[in-house]
Chain A
């Protein structure tokens, strides 16, 4: 905590200093999606004439443990549109932005959806989230570039329409496998599982303890082990980016008991767009439930240009 505070202190100084230097007016619009899934949605809505960047992109590290650097502070200071997750997931963003006030639009997704601060922060797994984000992004960009408003709006509609196959996959899963009992290590994909009609049997207190890296209660650990050992669940979903010896032992126990294991991502994996990512996670879940096939890693695709 102290370490993070010191880093922020240095950052805020750096951000203030860099904010003073004026460069010749750049006409390109800069937008930042803190998590790369939001950057992906911004890019699809904004089209080619907006420069979109993501901050958190590494699908092998834990975004909860992310620490910002001066370069990131500079990037944020020059962006006129920023989409952050909120709900306590990326609190460092607001602190950096407070240090470099400027005309910009900040979309806090948690606030956009009207979620309480204690909600499960992995909101992008809820099928209602990204359509709302796309709409808000289109509105913000239209205010910035009124001449291109029609383009932003139509691209936002196209993006929402493009999610139809995913929603169909969710509906079809619900019809065929609704009520399937599943275990999870962490709440990352809970919203997706609920939308797919699954019943999550893992204690929520265990999920939050693993997410926050605090001491799990032995009762919860025993309950989770019983779910796997007694075959009370069809699948164990684990967060590939939030692992520790305990989650590894759950995965191991599931394997030994012949329960399918699905690794889910917290950050959009390389080579995927939001839509293809969600479809891939859905198909991994379906394969696990219908045929007992495990998927611990989504196939890496060629990086996007």
Chain B
């Protein structure tokens, strides 16, 4: 405990906004890591980013209408996910184009809603909150709803775990096994929408991709078995999010009069985790290839 005291400024764990950030951020990190692993395996990282940008239109609309921000982010992301799966474009290039156009339309709506919000009422900081997140201003009353959303997303993934995994590896194989690939795709899309709206609310729509694909990609690099990748992704996501909150809290003493934005620390930690994972994977791969050359080698890890 004494060592910990050196790392964090006093009062960290007794601070109200920190509690809320730890809970909502932790929930978002876990869900993003779990859903993100499948999103990365399915090669839908860009779609994940687009969903986040489209969901920002919902976030800004809820600012305009005075709704709970979670409702806005969630509604818009679910709509977009449904639309994307409904369009059912198989060709990868065509899919990228559709995703890109939707992303643009979503951000365009965000700009419109934010403009209306600023001319019809007080919308101080709405743009920053929606696009870059403002974890320490999340009202504590949102915690139960946010954790419930996280729980639903995890339940959806758990319910379709096996077929989702098979179809992520090979759609043909899944089809041969009698899986309804489209239904699985839609379910994954909605779980993705839940994950993305949670992370858009915590680190902001533009940065939410980092939380979605960073820990997942690192987890996939570090382990070959899906279960292990999932566990590692969750661990990395949680460490980055909670570490980011801690650093943001500490940063209050670094520059006079204000702390640094928490979203910055989280995405930087995610980036570092990904770099380390890539490095580790490369070192391991070299070890394996050395062993392959010298079958009598003593390397056993």
Known contacts A65-B118, A205-B258, A215-B259: does B129 contact A244 (CB below 8 Å)? Answer: yes
B122 near A61 with CB under 8 A, answer: yes
B window 59-99: CB within 8 A of A: 69
In the bound complex, do residue A244 and residue B137 qualify as a contact, i.e. CB atoms below 8 Å apart? yes
User: When chains A and B are docked, how far (Å) is the Cα of A294 from the Cα of B179?
Assistant: 63
A150 to chain B, nearest CB (A): 42
Partner of B16, one of A213, A225, A242: A225
| Interface 9-residue window, one of A151-159, A171-179, A193-201, A216-224 | A216-224
A299 within 8 A of B: no
State whether B262 touches A215 (Cβ < 8 A).
yes
Q: Give 1 or 0 for each of B98-137: 1 = CB within 8 Å of chain A CB.
A: 0000000000000100010011111111111100001111
**Is A60 interfacial (CB 8 A cutoff)?**
yes
CB within 8 Å for A214 and B128 given contacts A209-B258, A221-B16, A222-B11: yes
Interface residues on B, range: 35 or more
Are A244 and B124 closer than 8 Å at their CB atoms? yes
**B227 an interface residue at 8 Å Cβ cutoff?**
no
Which of A3, A66, A221, A240 has a CB less than 8 Å from the CB of B136? A221
Q: Does A249 lie within 8 Å of B15, measured CB to CB?
A: no
| B252–A213 touching, CB < 8 Å | no
Q: Does chain B have a CB within 8 A of A108?
A: no
B287 at the interface (CB under 8 A from A): no
Cα distance A234–B258 when bound, in Å? 26
Q: Does B21 contact A (CB under 8 A)?
A: yes
Asked if residues B249 and A219 are in contact (CB atoms below 8 Å), the reply is yes
Minimum CB–CB distance for A87 against chain B, Å: 18
Instruction: Write out, one digit per residue, whether chain A residues 238-279 have a CB within 8 A of any chain B CB (1) or not (0).
Output: 001111111001000000000000000000000000000000
Residue contact A244 to B119, C-beta cutoff 8 Å: no
Residues of B252-301 at the interface with A, using a CB-CB cut-off of 8 Å, are 252, 257-259, 261-263
**In the complex with contacts A215-B134, A217-B252, A225-B16, A60-B261 CB distance below 8 A:** no
Binding site for A on B (CB under 8 A): 9, 11, 15-18, 21, 69, 111, 115, 118-129, 134-139, 248-249, 252, 257-259, 261-263
> Which 3 pairs across A and B sit closest by C-beta, in order of nearness?
A213-B125, A217-B259, A218-B17
